Amino acid sequence: MSLWRSRSDRSHGAGPSRRSLLTAAGAGGLGVAAGALGHSVAANAAPRMALVSDVVPFYGEHQAGIDTQAQDRMHMAAFDVTATGREELIALLTEWTAAIEQMTRGAEVGQDGATGGDYEAPPEDTGEAIDLSASNLTVTVGFGRSLFTDGRKARFDLGGKLPEALISMPHFPGDFLEEARSGGDIVVQACADDPQVAVHAVRNLARIAFGRARVRWSQIGFGRTSSTSATQKTPRNLFGFKDGTANIMSEDGAALSEHVWVKGAQGPEAWMNGGSYLVARRIRMHIETWDRSPLGDQERIIGRTKRGGAPLSGGDEFTEPDFEMPGRGGPVMPVDSHVAIAHPRVNGGVRMLRRGFNYTDGSDGLGRLDAGLFFIAFVVDPRTHYVPMQNAMAKNDALSEYLRHTGSGLFAVPPGVQPGGYLGQGLFEL
Amino acid sequence: MKITAPLCATAAVALVALTLTGCTENTPESSGDGSVQITSTADACDVSTATAPGGTVKFQIKNAGTQVTEFYLLAEDGLRIVGEVENIGPGLSRDLIVIAPEGKYITACKPGMIGEGIRADFALTAAPAGQAVSADRAKLGETAVTLYTAYVKDQIEQLVTGTGDFADAFAAGDTAKAKELYAAVRMHWERIEPVAESFGDLDPILDAREADLEPGQKWTGWHRAEKDLWPPATGYTAMTKAERGKLAEKMVADTNELAKRVQDLEYNPATLANGAKELLDEVATGKVTGEEEIWSHTDLWDFQANVDGARIAYEDLKPLLAGSAAALDEQLQNRFTDLQKLLDQHKRGAGFIYYDELTEAQKTELSSAVDALAEPLSKLTAAVAK
């Protein structure tokens, strides 16, 4: 059985399958199916119950939130670790693991949750998710290069464990990166179908971290811009175009195995087996100038029709583009169109599992929407699966004129956790 | 303009030729909205009706063949193109909206984009009341292009001369003079920026900003000189005389090459209008934020030059708007005037104050004036192409 299967099996396997319950929910039969939760409810003293149909299992070979069917909302936060020693860092990760496990099954954080504790003490859980379901919450944790080294010497005795693929990203043409939106020692990606559930997760993790790690930047995203399952309709980005048509889908085990999951890593890098690399880019879109562009230009820049999402070489959304089909004045798929530049055929066949979200942070001082794409991709190696493609896009993609990269992060995402373990355990103990 | 499918209204107003596959889906009854349905296959060009009312006419072309196709509406002589849609991929639909008077026409599908196409006679009857069609738009368009071509050549000549003067001062180490010339000479570049940018190889070597560079790319051109003339306070090593000389020499050579290539450029009314819109986009993305001239802060010179270039293109095209788009014309006229009034407030001597002297409120004011102008300007192409 290949690696990718295990998560699917857990999602759809023993007991009522998640999908059938979702179908039931769609038919209006959604209720609190506490019994099916089994040990989860029994093991947790906190009172909040989850709808069984919208819990993504926490334990597994890989962390959840990667090949999990993309949720609608995201809150991502990067932390700078201020803990002074290795033990303190491990303690933080252990506490986080427990809290994440509770939150992802819709339970409250801690022994006593939001209301069960001492009247003279602040509650353990902040409480804003009471009455809300688990909402398919997933929390995915990754480690930045700066956790391993400050550039001169190793931190937390992790110098020798720094994976070669965890590079410091090169400058790409058109980058306008803001220090306060980039980097970080640890990243936490919380995704859920309810924004309050995602924000609740990051808020509680930040609170647990006080004194040991502080938030460096965080980003809220709405409206997933990728499908990660063939059952999902392709969503639209803020330019109004379908995005992620050619994404790696969770059903495509071979592609996940080839392009997403780390495997066969030896020696000091062995802790990464079953993990992946998370690329995060805050890509501001020049919404106003785009909106003034003729529809024909917009379609030529993207290489697809706006409404149907078909490539300009014809067919429907999922028809493979024909880059050779002649058109007036060159191929009918413009050579500098986004699709032509980003297609695996010109990028050595590499693919990424994209999991981005639209974002809007209100408006800037000039009255323009501060909005765009919070790009998230999971790849087996950023050196082969992100850097060359981003270079080509920044240089040749007609779309680049309407984009500006304002934030950037690269993180090594360790494999999943087994009961009794903690996130990143292999990094410290392998 | 007659639009009955609400989902299509916004896009259709702004555009002449467009892809609206969804509109087709939403108006399943052929010609339910008065449009003419065309189905192009490998060996046929089915036209749903041979007669339609003149004025604004919408053709919905569906490519049911397996090759890329095109659709043309030709004048009675079979030569003059009244309207066209290129590059319709197999299975895709596109709309063509034209404004045409009563008369005889010819429709043509061109599967595979070769040959004369599959032609048929087509007739437009009298236009409904209120849909006047101006007389000889082709002639007006030609005049606009002639005027604009002359303008571009004039600006290029001045750019060549000015770059030479700047390069001399820069190479000779006359920093004061080079600084004085920098912003003024760049205005000739900025006035015709979309023309200059149409040469994808020359634009980056002459106008790349530091942030635009890719790893390993050598930084040349105006902004390289800018940084040396207005160096950052710390962490910067000034260029040597030899380095300055080399940069200056290259700027002159590259500008001469640009001037040579510009002579062969051909324009049409749509390229003029698009160029005007692009100039305002340049202002909105680079100048109004003060990013273009990050060292010299002479962004207002560039700002003015971009607006100049857009205004010239618009004024050359103005006769095409009379009658058919008078309201747009008036709006553009007013918004250009408003923006210029704002810019005039920041004049100092022959130039402008530096961008970092503007207050946030003044920047916001400029930005909203740019948006106010850019929005109607984005409708110019569709208006002149009719």
Q: With a CB-CB cutoff of 8 Å, which residues 19-78 of chain B face chain A? A: 19-23, 25, 63, 67-68, 70
Each residue's pLDDT tens digit, A372-397: 999 999 999 999 999 999 999 998 89
Q: A326 vs B86: CB contact, 8 Å cut-off?
A: no
Interface test with B, best of A293, A307, A335 (most B CBs within 10 A): A307
Each residue's pLDDT tens digit, A224-269: 888 888 888 889 999 999 987 888 998 999 999 999 999 999 999 9
- Radius of gyration over alpha carbons of chain A, in Å? 22
The residue type found at B149 is T
**pLDDT confidence bin for B130, thresholds 50/70/90:** low
Residue B341 confidence (pLDDT) above 70: yes
Instruction: Characterize the bridge pairing of strands A357-363 and A369-379.
Output: antiparallel
Q: How many CB pairs under 8 A join A and B?
A: 119
Q: Which domains, ranges and CATH numbers included, belong to chain B?
A: 36-125 (2.60.40.420), 135-385 (1.20.1420.20)
**Is the CB of B374 inside 8 Å of chain A's CB atoms?**
yes
Residues of B in contact with A310 (CB under 8 A): 21, 89, 91-92
Residue B26 confidence (pLDDT) above 70: no
Q: How far is CA B113 from CA A132, B67, B68, B91, in A?
A: 59, 9, 7, 16
Q: A172 vs B381: CB contact, 8 Å cut-off?
A: no
Task: Output the pLDDT for position A45.
Answer: 43
Task: Output the pLDDT for position A90.
Answer: 98
Task: Output the pLDDT for position A130.
Answer: 95
Instruction: Among B92, B213, B378, select the one facing A310 at the smallest CB separation.
Output: B92
- Higher per-residue pLDDT: A21 or B283: B283
**Is the CB of A15 inside 8 Å of chain B's CB atoms?**
no
Could you give phi then psi for residue B369, rounded to 5 degrees?
A: -70, -35
CA nearest to B216 within chain A: A171
Q: How far is CA A26 from CA A23, A103, A194, in A?
A: 5, 24, 17
Q: How far is CA A312 from CA A245, A306, A389, B116, B382, in A?
A: 14, 10, 22, 23, 21
What is the complex's ipTM, to 2 decimals? 0.79
Q: How far is it, in rounded angstroms, from Cα B323 to Cα A270?
A: 74
**Is the CB of A391 inside 8 Å of chain B's CB atoms?**
yes
Flag whether A250 is in a domain: yes
Least confident of A199-203, B50-54, B102-106, B192-196: B192-196
- Do residues A336 and A326 lie in contact, with contact meaning Cβ atoms separated by under 8 Å? no
Buried b (16+ CB within 10 A) or exposed e, B23-32: bbeebeeeee
CB atoms within 10 A of CB A354: 23
Q: Which of A360, A241, A221 has its CA nearest to residue A291?
A: A241
Residue B48 confidence (pLDDT) above 90: yes
Residue A48 confidence (pLDDT) above 60: no
Q: How far is it, in rounded angstroms, from Cα A150 to Cα A173?
A: 26
Q: With a CB-CB cutoff of 8 Å, which residues 112-131 of chain B face chain A? A: 113
- Higher per-residue pLDDT: A144 or A35: A144
**Is the CB of B11 inside 8 Å of chain A's CB atoms?**
yes
Residues of B in contact with A329 (CB under 8 A): 86
Each residue's pLDDT tens digit, B79-93: 888 889 999 999 999
Flag whether A386 is in a domain: no
Q: With a CB-CB cutoff of 8 Å, which residues 288-307 of chain B face chain A? A: 288-289, 291
CA nearest to B371 within chain A: A288
Q: How far is it, in rounded angstroms, from Cα B17 to Cα B380?
A: 14
SS (HEC) of chain B: CCCCCHHHHHHHHHCCEECCHHHHHHCCCCCCCCCEEEEECCCCEEECCCEEECEEEEEEEEECCCCCEEEEEEECCCCCEEEEEEEECCCCEEEEEEEECCEEEEEEECHHHCCCCEEEEEEEECCCCCCCCCCCHHHHHHHHHHHHHHHHHHHHHHHHHHHHHHHHHHHCCCHHHHHHHHHHHHHHHHHCHHHHHCCCCHHHHHHCCHHHCCCCCCCCCHHHHHHHHCCCCCCCCCCCHHHHHHHHHHHHHHHHHHHHHHCCCCCCHHHHHHHHHHHHHHHHHHHCCCCCCCCCCCHHHHHHHHHHHHHHHHHHHHHHHCCCCHHHHHHHHHHHHHHHHHHHCCEECCEECCHHHCCHHHHHHHHHHHHHHHHHHCCHHHHHHC
Q: A310 vs B68: CB contact, 8 Å cut-off?
A: no
Flag whether A269 is in a domain: yes
Q: How far is it, in rounded angstroms, from Cα B265 to Cα A289?
A: 26
Each residue's pLDDT tens digit, B59-83: 999 999 999 999 999 999 998 888 8
* Total domains, chain A: 1
Q: How far is CA A24 from CA A19, A324, A336, in A?
A: 9, 46, 45
Flag whether A53 is in a domain: yes
Q: A327 vs B68: CB contact, 8 Å cut-off?
A: yes
Each residue's pLDDT tens digit, B172-198: 999 999 999 999 999 999 999 988 888
| Tokens matching residue A211 | 């004194």
Closest CA of chain A from B296, distance in Å: 19
**Is the CB of B378 inside 8 Å of chain A's CB atoms?**
yes
- Sort B58 into a burial class: Cβ within 10 Å, 0-12 / 13-18 / 19+: buried
- Do residues B175 and B229 lie in contact, with contact meaning Cβ atoms separated by under 8 Å? yes
**Is the CB of B381 inside 8 Å of chain A's CB atoms?**
yes
**Is the CB of A26 inside 8 Å of chain B's CB atoms?**
no
Flag whether A401 is in a domain: no
**Is the CB of A298 inside 8 Å of chain B's CB atoms?**
no
Q: B211 vs A174: CB contact, 8 Å cut-off?
A: yes
Name B277's Cβ contacts closer than 8 Å, sequence gap at least 6: A292, B310, B374, B377, B378, B380, B381
- Higher per-residue pLDDT: A230 or B355: B355
For chain B, the average pLDDT equals 88
Per the structure, the complete domain to which residue A254 belongs is given by 4-285+410-429
CB atoms within 10 A of CB A265: 16
**Is the CB of A346 inside 8 Å of chain B's CB atoms?**
no
Flag whether A241 is in a domain: yes
Q: With a CB-CB cutoff of 8 Å, which residues 200-239 of chain B face chain A? A: 211-215, 217
Name B207's Cβ contacts closer than 8 Å, sequence gap at least 6: B189, B196, B197, B221, B222, B223
Instruction: Among B63, B113, B281, select the one facing A289 at the smallest CB separation.
Output: B281
Q: Is the dihedral of CA A382, A386, A390, A391 positive or negative?
A: positive
